[in-house]
Chains A and B, each alone.
Chain A
Amino acid sequence: MIRFALALCAATALCAAANARTLAVAPGPDAQERIQTALLDAKPGDVVALAAGRYDLTDGLSLDVDGVTVKGAGPDRTILSFKGQKGAGEGLLVTSDKVTVRDLAVEDTRGDGVKSKGSDQISFLNVRVEWTGGPKETNGAYGVYPVSSSNVLIDQVVVRGASDAGIYVGQSKNIVVKRSRAEFNVAGIEIENSMNADVFDNVATHNAGGILVFDLPNLPVMGGHSHRVFRNQVVDNDTQNFAPKGNIVANVPTGTGVMIMANRDVHVFENVIDGNKSAAVMLVAYVQKFDDKTYNPLLRDVVVRDNRIGRNAWDPQFAGGPIVKAMLGGAVPPIMWDGVTAYPGIADTVKVRITDGPILNLNLPAPGELEKARPVVAKTIGDVQVAEPKAVVLPKPQADLGA
Chain B
Amino acid sequence: MRLRRRPLHRFAVPLPRFAGEVRRTANLPHSWGRGTTKGWRGRWARTVAPLFAIACLGAAPEPPAVSLETLLAETPAPKLADYRLFTDAAGRRPNAGLTPYALNTPLFSDYAEKFRMLYLPPGKAAAYRPDGVLDFPVGATLVKTFAYPADLRRPDAQVRYLETRLLIRKAEGWVALAYVWNAEQTEAVLKRAGTRLDVGFTDAAGQARHVDYAVPNQNQCKECHQLDKALLPIGPKARNLNGAFAYAEGPENQLAHWSRLGLLTGAPNPAQAPRTARWDDPAEPLEARARAYLDTNCAHCHNPRAVASNSGLFLDLEETRPAQLGVGKGPVAAGRGAGNLKVGLSPGHPDESILVYRMASTEPGVMMPELGRSLTHDEGLALIREWIARMPPR
Judge whether A88 and B370 touch: CB under 8 Å: yes
**Least Cβ–Cβ distance between B194 and chain A, in angstroms:** 6
Question: In the assembled complex, which residues on chain B have CB atoms less than 8 Å from the CB atom of A219?
Answer: 310, 312, 332
Do residues B330 and A288 form an inter-chain contact, with CB atoms below 8 A? yes
Whether A246 and B217, one on each chain, are in contact in the complex, defined by CB atoms closer than 8 angstroms, is no
Given A88-B220, A88-B370, A95-B219, the answer on whether A246 and B194 have CB atoms closer than 8 Å is no
Q: Which of A21-40 contact B (CB under 8 A)?
A: 32-34, 36-37, 39-40
Interface residue? B196 (CB, 8 A): yes
Stretch at the interface among B8-16, B136-144, B333-341: B333-341
**Do the beta carbons of B365 and A244 come within 8 Å of each other?**
no
Give the nearest-CB partner of B308 in chain A.
Answer: A117
- Of A108-116, A367-375, A394-402, the segment with at least 4 beta carbons within 8 Å of chain B is A108-116
Cα distance, A117 to B370, chains bound together (Å): 15
Q: Is the CB of B336 within 8 A of A86?
A: no
CB contacts (< 8 Å) of B63 on chain A: these are none
Residue B309 lies at the interface, judged by CB distance under 8 Å to chain A = yes
Could you say which of A34, A60, A147, A163 contacts B336, with CB atoms under 8 Å apart? A163
List the one stretch of B45-53, B245-253, B321-329 in contact with chain A: B321-329
Q: Can you name the residue of chain A whose Cβ is closest to the Cβ of B314?
A: A220
CB-CB under 8 A from A39, the residues of chain B are 219
Least CB distance, B226 to chain A, in whole angstroms: 9
CA distance A147 to B365 in the complex (A): 17
- Whether A64 lies near B364 (C-beta < 8 A) is no
Chain B 187-207 interface residues, beta-carbon cutoff 8 Å to A:
192-196
Q: Does B243 contact A (CB under 8 A)?
A: no
Q: Which residues of A contact B223 (CB under 8 A)?
A: 62, 93, 95
Please, how many angstroms separate the alpha-carbon atoms of A164 and B219 in the complex? 26
Q: How far is the CA of A289 from the CA of B212 in the complex (A)?
A: 42
Contact B339 A244 (CB under 8 A): yes
Q: In this assembly, does B371 line the interface, its C-beta being within 8 Å of a C-beta of chain A?
A: yes
Contact B309 A148 (CB under 8 A): yes
- A89-B220 Cα distance, complex, nearest whole Å: 11
A111–B304 CA distance with the chains assembled, in angstroms: 22
Question: Of residues 224 to 252 in A, which have CB atoms within 8 Å of B's CB atoms?
Answer: 244-248
A141, B334: Cβ atoms under 8 Å? yes
Which residue of chain B lies nearest to A219 when distances are taken between CB atoms in the complex? B312
Report the minimum CB–CB distance from B221 to chain A (whole Å): 10
A244 B220 Cβ-Cβ under 8 A: no
Would you give the 0/1 interface string for A59-71, flagging 1 where the beta carbon is closer than 8 Å to chain B? 1101110000000
A89 to B368, CA, bound (A): 9
Question: Chain A residue with minimal CB distance to B192?
Answer: A40
A163 to B309, CA, bound (A): 22
Q: Does A137 contact B (CB under 8 A)?
A: yes
Provide the main secondary structure of the chain A interface: loop
- Cα distance, A226 to B218, chains bound together (Å): 38
User: In the complex, what distance in Å separates the CA atom of A171 from the CA atom of B310?
Assistant: 7
Contact of B309 among A88, A220, A292 (CB under 8 A): A220
A87 within 8 A of B: yes
B222 located at the interface, meaning its Cβ lies under 8 Å from any Cβ of chain A in the complex: yes
Contact A246 B331 (CB under 8 A): yes
Q: Is B133 an interface residue (CB 8 A)?
A: no
The answer for the CA separation of A117 and B219 in the assembled complex, in Å, is 13
Residues of A within 8 A of B175 (CB): none
Q: Which of A262-313 contact B (CB under 8 A)?
A: 288-289, 291-292
Q: How far is the CA of A86 from the CA of B335 in the complex (A)?
A: 18
Contacts of B330 in A (CB 8 A): 216, 246-248, 288
B354 touches A (CB below 8 Å): yes
Determine the chain A residues whose CB is within 8 A of the CB of B365 once the complex forms. Answer: 85, 89, 109-112, 140-141
Q: Please give, as numbers and ranges, the residues of chain A lying within 8 Å of B333 by CB-CB distance.
A: 112, 141-142, 145, 147, 164, 168, 170
**A87, A89, A247: which contacts B214 (Cβ < 8 A)?**
A87
Q: Is the CB of A216 within 8 A of B192?
A: no
Partner of B364, one of A36, A40, A88: A88
Q: Is B281 close to A, CB under 8 A?
A: no
Interface membership of B229, Cβ < 8 A: yes
Report how far A39 CA is from B363 CA in the complex, Å.
25
Nearest-neighbor residue (CB-CB) of B217 within chain A: A36
Contact in complex: B337, A110 (CB < 8 Å): no
Lowest 8 A-B CB distances belong to which pairs? A141-B335, A111-B365, A110-B365, A36-B193, A62-B219, A110-B364, A246-B338, A89-B370
Would you mind naming 21 contact pairs between A and B with Cβ atoms under 8 Å apart? A39-B219, A40-B219, A62-B217, A86-B374, A88-B220, A88-B370, A88-B371, A110-B364, A110-B365, A111-B335, A111-B337, A112-B335, A118-B229, A138-B336, A142-B335, A164-B333, A168-B333, A216-B332, A247-B335, A248-B330, A288-B330
14 additional A-B residue pairs with CB within 8 Å, beyond A87-B371, A89-B364 = A32-B193, A33-B193, A40-B219, A59-B214, A64-B222, A86-B364, A141-B333, A163-B336, A164-B333, A171-B310, A218-B312, A244-B339, A248-B330, A291-B323
Residues of A that sit less than 8 Å from B by CB? 32-34, 36-37, 39-40, 58-60, 62-64, 85-89, 93, 95, 109-112, 117-118, 137-142, 145, 147-148, 163-164, 168, 170-171, 216, 218-221, 244-248, 288-289, 291-292
